Structure 1
């Protein structure tokens, strides 16, 4: 595994060409409440008629990675079959007091904080088993955060293809341009996973980037 990792890091494009797979394992990453599961549900509904899981306004609703295999996307004659991993929200610090604000009992809040912390560790470990990443960012917020910078650096260090999804463009204060300015080295696709706005452009980018 170590040798393959070093080869892929140094010769990413050649590695992809020589070791091209029939199916690509793609992780959906991002901070809590960026819309990762909403995006996963949108993709699955559009291409399989199914959903990945439930969503909530409470942060860290997804506390364990969820895998859905064999999702085939076809756009403009190009197709790609994905195994999609919906990962827990990434955070540098998880405090149980954060959950108390949403009316959860203290015992439940502490349990959720513990599970969310374990979920962050699991999400980072998944990077070693992926072929590419969809990084979801909330386009209404400042993208230049420690979480975003750290995960982009981790993805780049592994030589993984990255597609940044600027989510929530349906909201009035959305600014995908801020995300493009913060990470100009990577393609950025503005969408609303909830409303389905510009989702066809994302599918086209996925087919081109990961196909």
Structure 2
């Protein structure tokens, strides 16, 4: 009751003084549901930068990742948000599961040498540079003309695929450290429920949504009167069944999306704005 009253007062002051309200939007959910993929997509679309590393390993995100003051068009409204990509929530963390994976390496810092000759020629053409010669010669001309930051922009704009860099296999010692960090991240994410204004609950539409984590998370959010929008992610997958999520949680708005492909995000933004 008190929380709702405070929100109404904040909204009234914002309208009175013509200020746009900045909401703290948390992205919560189980590991590997696409939280960071969605955060990256939103941040790249509206800010031109990524939030964090995406990998197949669960609990890749072990600290709260923030991007502040993102302005997103939501229908006729503009959402101004501080985006919070939360660590994945789980009932337990076993260090042994991490030993199956390799350490993640960020691909956001692409170097000239990481690109194929054909892609280097495309960039050279955009810069009106000569495309002749071997790879080293083309790279030399590009380096003299554009910065590393500008290269990242070309990679994004020209949709150049960069081969993922592989890290070394995770040792048992590293796995134990990851498990410890993941556990701390879960605790921190739960504490932050007292500081968010709205939450996107990410669910994998290819899996059964009736999990202990999902039920407990939604229960906590409901008890705190925090606005909830469920994102039924991975609708790009053939075995996607977003209707299962809608049937499981009919009391909450469910928006089928593909964070990977950026599908139906406009509807997601609109639904968030409507439920504030």
TM-score between both structures, scaled by the size of structure 1: 0.91
Q: Given the alignment of the two structures, is residue 57 of structure 1 paired with residue 56 of structure 2, yes or no?
A: yes
What do residues 157-210 of structure 1 show as CA deviations (whole Å, max 9, x unaligned)?
A: 110000000000000110110111111100000000001111221122223223
Q: Which residue of the other structure, out of 18, 22, 35, is the alignment partner of 2:9?
A: 18
What do residues 56-81 of structure 1 show as CA deviations (whole Å, max 9, x unaligned)?
A: 11110000001111011113321110
Q: Give me the whole-angstrom Cα distance separating, in 1, the residues matched to 2:7 and 2:238.
A: 39
| RMSD (Å) for aligned C-alpha atoms | 1.3
Contact 1:169 1:176 in 2 (8 A): yes
Task: Tell me the CA shift for residue 145 of structure 1.
Answer: 0.2
Which contiguous aligned blocks of 4+ residues in structure 1 show a shift greater than 6 angstroms? none
**Aligned runs of 1:28-107 on 2, under 5 Å?**
28-102=27-101, 103-107=169-173
Structure 1 unaligned residues grouped into runs of 5+: 1-5
Q: Which residue of the other structure, out of 2, 24, 29, is the alignment partner of 1:7?
A: 2
Q: Given the alignment of the two structures, is residue 167 of structure 1 paired with residue 228 of structure 2, yes or no?
A: no
What do residues 116-143 of structure 1 show as CA deviations (whole Å, max 9, x unaligned)?
A: 0000000000100111101100000000
Q: Give me the whole-angstrom Cα distance separating, in 2, the residues matched to 1:25 and 1:48.
A: 16
Q: Which residue of 1 aligns with 2:113?
A: none
Report the structure number with the largest CA radius of gyration: 2
TM-score between both structures, scaled by the size of structure 2: 0.70
Contact 2:202 2:231 in 1 (8 A): yes
Structure 2 unaligned residues grouped into runs of 5+: 15-20, 102-168
Aligned residue pairs total 201
